[in-house]
Structure 1
Amino acid sequence: MLGHEILLRHKKTILLLLLLAAICNVVIYLYIMERKAQTTTITTAVATTIPREQESEISQLADNLILSGLGAMGRPARGSWTKAQLLAMESSERETGYNAWLSERISPERSLHDMRHRSCKKLKYPMEKLASISVIITQYNEQPSLLLRTLSSLINRTPSKLLREIILVDDGSDQEYGNLTHILQDNFKDLLIQLRNPKQLGLMQARLTGARKSQGDVLVFLDAHVEVTRGWLPPLLAPLLQNNKTCTTPVVDTIDYENFAYRRGKPSRGFFDWNFNYVQLPLLKEELRALPAPHDNPIMNGGLFAIDRRWFFELGGYDEGLRIWGAEQFELSLKIWLCGGRILEVPCSRVGHLYRNSSFHAQYKKSDSGIKAVSRNCRRVAEVWLDEYKDKLYANMPHLTHVKVGSLTKQKALRTRLHCKPFKWFLDHLASDFLEAYPLEEPVDYAFGAVQSLAASNLCLERNKSAAHPQLLPCDEDLMYPKLQQKWTLSHFRDLHSSSYCLELQKRDPRAEVFLWQCHHHAGNQFWSYDSNTKQLINGQSKSQQRCLEAEVEERRVVANICDSKNQRQQWKFGYVDETRLEDFWKNVPDQM
């Protein structure tokens, strides 16, 4: 009996080992097949019917892509890079704002996870009733690898019966990328229409160029550096069946500019603050409970949206007086809402967007041409759409009152013709929590003026015009009302900002970098307090996570370190501190353990 049990046990062990071996063989086989499929996909993506004179160029591009097989399923594209390769990555990121070297080595048809909520996958749409679309994409000096991934994702993940055409508008690019035009046409055939402006007209005018050539019932505007995901389109089109004056936006996910990892975004509601910065607010409680149902989106981010073509042109499209880039999403969003339409964010539709690093964006936004364009655009929107509330904007941005904006007659006539509502209607119906976060009458701030280092009293914190990090530079003569670059405010939002840029701590490492980042006014990594006894500027609400701003005098920079009240490098003096107000700083602030 005992021998029989031992024999039976041995048989079970052998069967288990055989089963494990079979599973391993299947896994290895699937892996090999996936790699072969990736190689075949990459090769066919760049070499269909190519003229002989382009063969060597395309062959080189294919070789670069085939070598890596990186980024599959939206995972970070990582490898064992040589020193020369790392230097090439750094150089490309300085030039483009993202890792262009790595981008060229990722498949133009890389796979992505299905990012949708499980409930979204069960929804059925009346495909026979959904409108055909014209996708409008504008580009200016865009890298070919990004364009290929954008276009490939569209072709592969969009129902062919709905995709009438893709219109790609080159807005006067001044960089040449070989035979890119022929490469795109050979790969995407008659589905792709390529247009070119003889000179750069700007985002809005380039989009209008494409829209005027379109034939689809619905216009879908996309940036040139996106990747659409599975099932992205039907949820965007379905709400238009109920009301053709509805504009829809997807949830915008993030493609990492360093390693191209695809990261899920959260549903949110867009607004602008009283400095005309685009901000995001969380969903209302009833909207959270209804997820993943579509919800009102007061101000869209402007890069990705769908709108009925006739309705778009009935609204006048974009204001033709807007220049280059900036505030166009405010203008179109307000026009839609106030003139009888609606904007919905649709969580069942997800599109990944590559955002360039902050220093690259800052170069344009702070350049003379960028400042002039954005300022002009902001004032045009304020004068046409904000009514008496424009005075609130001008109080925060007095320079706008000196900006020439050209004629507004056409835009004001359009508002009258469409019987558009006043801006107060927008605030009353869509901005209850917005006005709590951004009140018309703002509370008094805790401190303002120059932030002077007590370790080197001649040095003050300064927001450099184009840098991603603050610096220590010679103090202005007037510490209470210094020059704009040295004027800091410890605001009622409990952040430390200069203009619309806040000090932000992204890591808690020793000598952690301190960044200049767009203020979001939601505490977190932008939460700062000031201890008037120890003279320390402290980041973080939780005491266990708090770090103090520290001067590195010799390097003329600041870092964040574990707080030490005896460390003079962590001691700072404001131009003015409201001591009475500061006594109530921690009132109603959670999580101080």
Structure 2
Amino acid sequence: MIASDQISLDRSITDLRHEECKFWHYDETLPKASVIVVFHNEGWSTLLRTLHSIIRRTPTHSLAEIVLIDDASTKSHLGLQLENYITRWAGIVRLFRNARREGLIQSRSIGARHATWGEVLVYLDAHCEVGINWYTPLVTPIAKNRKTCTAPLIDYIDGNDFTMESQQGGDEDGFARGAWDWSLLWKRIPLNEREKSTRAHCTMPYRSPAMAGGLFAIDREFFFELGLYDPGLQIWGGENFELSFKIWQCGGTLLFVPCSRVGHIYRLDGWVGNPPPLHVGSQPTLVNYVRVVEVWWDEYKDYFYASRPETRSLDPGDLAPLHRFRREYRCKSFRWFMENVAYDVPLHYPLPPKNVDWGEVRGKGTSSCLDSMGRKDGGEVELGICHGMGGNQLFRFNEAQQLMQYDQCLTHSTDGRSVIVMHCNSSQYGHWQRNGNLFVQPSLGNCLDRTEDSGKLLLKACQAEAPSQQWEMNHVSGL
């Protein structure tokens, strides 16, 4: 916020669009939008810069209203000070306040009910800056087919200095499709040749199996036909997948729009988010994931449970109304979706093998456990004090002889001196064996070893009775 407060609310931003985007011509008679922004204890200047950018860069004849949903904020600047500030826009910005904290997901559904002036609902996070000519390309596909949902390309605003750059990854043009690993973590995969071949120009909208969920546009009536968000999803997490699957399986289309760009401030290191309110369990996101896979994944849900074995004991609540909706709306199967839309996801994130064992990997007779410390793709694994909460200390040993965490496999560094995690597929890093309490790498003749004093993990010649090579896997709930 120190950096943000020093920057103009009406600053100019870098135009990151592909050069081709500057020459498209669009129909100007597009449906009007209700732009919905949900916030909880948002910073003053980041929220206002979001509003200023929407009003400055959206065609006046296309912007019906901006609906602000205050999700029980406690910061004083979001009270009367905000109410007074938005009066300058002569009623186009409307503010509604939740009586209690409902979370991002249900607040978006609340926003849809309040947003009655526009034909299209556009959702933006409260720390965004829309780009040049962002609206018209985003809504044009919806004007052609009301069962189309669109998402802009999301550029990266650095929270330290507020510079803006294109999101990394994707193909040679930076274009990516939204995807997931089988533990339901959000991923991006390069736009493939099959999808490219369906378009006459490289900046035309393209199909995506999933969206990130914070920034998208959808026809208001279609969103209500889909039942908005599952009312059982709480706070944050999984709602982007629930809506993506529901759109595709129930007759809609999800498109990414390269010529619509929106900058977004991502969390800085160390920021863990706001804790859930007391009326919600400690980790609602995992329950959300279970609800999503139980309703939409059909037989594929077994792959989720292989990746998240600790969630099998969770109670997802009443799912009968959602299953009834699927039947009555004649929604397609998840297998159809995987074969026709998300066919490339398993190429990047293969279907996981069955687990032989899972849980914390604890040094036998100690309070030390393997801990990835949240690292990935070459990050070093260390010893940490066992906390029994899963997360970075939950590993899986599967039938492919992989020792995994999410989509990462335990292996050795190139110099063989440390133990690291790397993104793996079904043919990589399958070189662990369980021999009693030993984790053995047969190709090297080494065993997983530890140095308690330094918290260092090592690979050393196997010694069946060495205390530092004795390990046990204990199931944990993750809650």
For the aligned pair, the TM-score class normalised by the smaller chain equals 0.7 to 0.9
Matches within 5 A, 1:354-433: 354-361=265-272, 371-433=282-344
Matches within 5 A, 1:204-219: 204-214=105-115, 215-219=117-121
Cα deviation for residue 521 of structure 1 reads 5.6
Identity rate of aligned residues, in percent? Answer: 38
Matches within 5 A, 1:175-574: 175-177=75-77, 179-214=80-115, 215-265=117-167, 266-288=174-196, 290=199, 291-361=202-272, 371-440=282-351, 442=353, 450=361, 461-463=370-372, 471-473=382-384, 486=393, 488=395, 498-499=405-406, 556=455
Q: Structure 2: how far apart are the matches of 1:101 and 1:557?
A: 38
In the alignment, is the contact (CA less than 8 A) between 1:137 and 1:167 conserved in 2? yes
- Segment drifting more, 356-365 vs 252-261: 356-365
Q: Structure 1: how far apart are the matches of 2:446 and 2:279?
A: 37
Of residues 111, 116, 139, the one that matches 2:39 is: 139
Residue of structure 2 equivalent to 1:116? 17
Task: For 1:169, give the aligned amino acid.
Answer: I
- Identify the structure with the greater helix proportion: 1
Q: Structure 1: how far apart are the matches of 2:347 and 2:194?
A: 18
Across the aligned residues of Structure 1 and Structure 2, the Cα RMSD in angstroms comes to 4.5
In the alignment, is the contact (CA less than 8 A) between 2:306 and 2:355 conserved in 1? no
In the alignment, is the contact (CA less than 8 A) between 1:247 and 1:342 conserved in 2? yes
Q: Secondary structure at the match of 1:119?
A: helix
**2:6 counterpart of 1:105:** yes
Q: Secondary structure at the match of 1:361?
A: coil
Q: Structure 1: how far apart are the matches of 2:236 and 2:74?
A: 17
Q: Structure 2: how far apart are the matches of 1:413 and 1:119?
A: 45
Gaps of 5+ in 2: 168-173, 412-418, 433-440, 458-467, 473-479
In the alignment, is the contact (CA less than 8 A) between 2:409 and 2:424 conserved in 1? no
Q: Secondary structure at the match of 2:175?
A: coil
Cα deviation for residue 308 of structure 1 reads 0.5
Cα deviation for residue 372 of structure 1 reads 3.1
Deviation per residue, 1:465-506 (Å, 9 max, x gap): 99x996534689xxxxx98755557999999853567899xx
Task: For 1:115, give the aligned amino acid.
Answer: L
TM-score where L is the length of structure 2? 0.77
Cα deviation for residue 124 of structure 1 reads 0.6
TM-score where L is the length of structure 1? 0.63
Distance 1:573 1:239, change over 3 A: farther
Deviation per residue, 1:529-584 (Å, 9 max, x gap): 999759799xxxxxxxxxxxx98955x579xxxxxxxxxxxxx97969xxxxxxxx
Gaps of 5+ in 1: 1-99, 477-481, 505-513, 538-549, 559-571, 577-593
Cα deviation for residue 385 of structure 1 reads 1.1
Higher radius of gyration, 1 or 2? 1
Q: Secondary structure at the match of 1:351?
A: strand
Distance 1:488 1:426, change over 3 A: same
Q: Secondary structure at the match of 1:432?
A: coil
Cα deviation for residue 337 of structure 1 reads 0.5
- Segment drifting more, 381-390 vs 314-323: 381-390
Q: Secondary structure at the match of 1:146?
A: helix
Q: Structure 2: how far apart are the matches of 1:503 and 1:179?
A: 53
Higher relative contact order (CA 8 A, sep 6+): 2
Distance 1:362 1:199, change over 3 A: closer
Equivalent pairs counted in the alignment come to 437
Q: Structure 2: how far apart are the matches of 1:370 and 1:230?
A: 41
In the alignment, is the contact (CA less than 8 A) between 1:449 and 1:574 conserved in 2? no
Q: Structure 2: how far apart are the matches of 1:247 and 1:131?
A: 14
Q: Secondary structure at the match of 1:326?
A: coil
In the alignment, is the contact (CA less than 8 A) between 1:387 and 1:423 conserved in 2? yes
